[in-house]
């Protein structure tokens, strides 16, 4: 089996180039990958028709946001134990204030989470997770930004949808509680399907892959297909390779290095690397709060490969960096 990774470029587009997901980025070469042969660079004209279709077709809007330019999802953790900002925004008033700050700084979606998914985190009871998230979603809904609920549980997703959430973001890829996909289908909500093995409690214990890039691609494609089979059209699915979830720093780097492969799923891509442990270890920033520069560097590297959405803690800093990155790419102010 062969996989085809577009070698993404920007700037003036040659006549033989193909558009990446219908946007301003393009490619005229692909890297052919397999589990048994060495990688090979081929002209894009040699792409199989199904791969060309998935790589090139425009991505429909999600939750009211067009996917023709990079978008920023701001993280709003209403938990006491999240690895970076646990306990800071538990109360609806504090959460609303932070959501306003992120919106003014450039966030275009707010992701509300009531259960920490850091390595080793314990599961939160359903009632407690609803109590943490639903009031916050109701409080911030008048801001007018799309709201995502970060949960693995169908009851939490239903309560969030009723409170005003417009997207369900499931780190388990709808494997933990398959009924959550039914909630998304019932409310006609878009979803984010992420790759993860095991659960937060034990995902960090000796993760192993035969080929991190291709194993994660295949497993994530399986979860996307399962969501599609549950009644969620692929046009309403964001795909997230799950950087830092059941992956070592080396696994993360192998995936990030060839991230554009994941456009082959035919879905817009979300990248969540903000303040994660590998950024601290490689960037020599032991404290999570000091990892904004490294987080932005990796986010922009993903955007250069065509990622449509980045999930971040440091919204103002990321938005500034993105504005400059786009201005340099296009050679003009937006």
Catalytically annotated residues: 276, 311
Instruction: Decide if 60 contacts 103 (C-beta within 8 A).
Output: no
Report how far Cα 137 is from the mean position of its chain's Cα atoms.
20
> CA-CA distance, 287 to 280, in Å (whole number)?
7
Beta partners for residue 26, in sequence order: 9, 19
User: CA-CA distance, 212 to 261, in Å (whole number)?
Assistant: 13
Residue burial 80-112, b: 16+ Cβ < 10 Å; e: rest: eebbbbbebbbebeebbebbeebbebbbbbbbb
Alpha-carbon dihedral sign for residues 127, 131, 136, 142? positive
Cα 36 → chain centroid: 29
Phi, psi torsion values for 61, nearest 5 degrees: -65, 150
Cβ neighbours around 256 below 10 Å, total:
18
């Amino acid at each position: 089996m062969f996989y085809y990774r577009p070698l993404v470029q920007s700037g003036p587009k040659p006549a033989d180039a193909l558009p990446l997901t219908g946007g301003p980025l393009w490619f005229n070469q692909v890297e052919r990958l397999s589990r048994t042969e060495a990688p090979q660079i081929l002209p894009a004209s040699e792409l199989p028709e199904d791969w060309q279709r998935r790589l090139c077709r425009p991505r429909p809007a999600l939750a009211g946001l067009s996917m023709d330019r990079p978008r920023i999802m701001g993280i709003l953790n209403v938990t006491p134990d999240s690895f970076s900002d646990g306990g800071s925004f538990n109360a609806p008033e504090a959460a609303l204030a932070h959501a306003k700050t992120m919106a003014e700084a450039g966030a275009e979606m707010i992701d509300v989470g009531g259960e920490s998914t850091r390595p080793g985190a314990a599961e939160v009871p359903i009632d407690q997770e609803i109590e943490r998230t639903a009031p916050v979603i109701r409080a911030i809904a008048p801001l007018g930004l799309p709201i995502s609920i970060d949960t693995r549980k169908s009851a939490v997703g239903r309560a969030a949808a009723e409170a005003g959430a417009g997207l369900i973001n499931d780190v388990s890829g709808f494997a933990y509680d398959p009924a959550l996909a039914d909630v998304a289908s019932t409310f006609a909500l878009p979803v984010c399907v992420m790759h993860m093995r095991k659960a937060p409690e034990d995902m960090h214990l000796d993760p192993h892959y035969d080929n991190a890039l291709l194993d994660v691609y295949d497993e994530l494609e399986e979860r996307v297909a399962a969501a599609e089979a549950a009644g969620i059209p692929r046009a309403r699915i964001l795909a997230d390779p799950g950087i830092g979830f059941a992956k070592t720093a080396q696994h993360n780097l192998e995936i990030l290095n060839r991230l554009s492969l994941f456009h082959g799923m035919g879905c817009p891509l979300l990248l969540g690397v903000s303040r994660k442990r590998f950024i601290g270890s490689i960037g020599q920033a032991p404290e999570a709060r000091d990892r904004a520069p490294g987080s932005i560097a990796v986010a922009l590297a993903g955007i250069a490969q065509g990622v449509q959405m980045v999930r971040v803690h440091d919204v103002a800093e990321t938005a500034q960096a993105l504005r400059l990155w786009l201005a340099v790419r296009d050679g003009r102010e937006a």
